[in-house]
């Protein structure tokens, strides 16, 4: 069983709380995050995604981010976070 979570376009600091709750609810199974619509991802949300992936790894479930938008990968680059660390396997918006 796996679930897909579509990320909101604006993932700024105030958005981190809500996303944390959504992620917490999705625990216990594989998850795919759809980051295609993300236009902004701030440091707190990126940290949350890092933390979530660590949680999923610890739980032994897959954690993947699909088709991240350019803004999403840009945020990773500017904040010095490796895309793999938040489950991005392919950096283009095209599914591979």
Residues that bind another protein (CB under 8 A): 12-14, 16-17, 19-20, 23-24, 27, 40-44, 46-48, 50-52, 54-55, 58, 75, 77-81, 85
Closest to another protein by CB, 79 vs 94, is 79
Closest to another protein by CB, 18 vs 89, is 18
- Residue 22 near residue 79 (C-beta atoms within 8 A): no
Q: How far is the CB of 89 from another protein (least distance, A)?
A: 19
The CA distance from 96 to 77, in Å, is 21
Q: How far is the CB of 12 from another protein (least distance, A)?
A: 7
The CA distance from 28 to 43, in Å, is 25
Q: How far is the CB of 48 from another protein (least distance, A)?
A: 5
Which residues pair with residue 4 across a beta bridge? 32
Closest to another protein by CB, 17 vs 70, is 17
Structure tokens at 11: 């993932």
Q: How far apart, in Å, are the Cα atoms of 83 and each of 1, 21, 70, 88?
A: 25, 22, 12, 5
């Amino acid at each position: 069983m796996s679930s897909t979570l579509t990320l909101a376009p604006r993932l700024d600091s105030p958005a981190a709380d809500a996303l944390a709750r959504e992620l917490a609810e999705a625990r216990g199974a594989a998850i795919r995050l759809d980051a295609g619509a993300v236009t902004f991802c701030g440091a707190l949300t990126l940290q949350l995604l890092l933390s979530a992936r660590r949680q999923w790894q610890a739980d032994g479930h897959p954690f993947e981010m699909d088709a991240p938008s350019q803004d999403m990968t840009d945020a990773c680059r500017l904040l010095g976070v490796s895309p793999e660390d938040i489950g991005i396997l392919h950096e283009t918006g095209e599914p591979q």
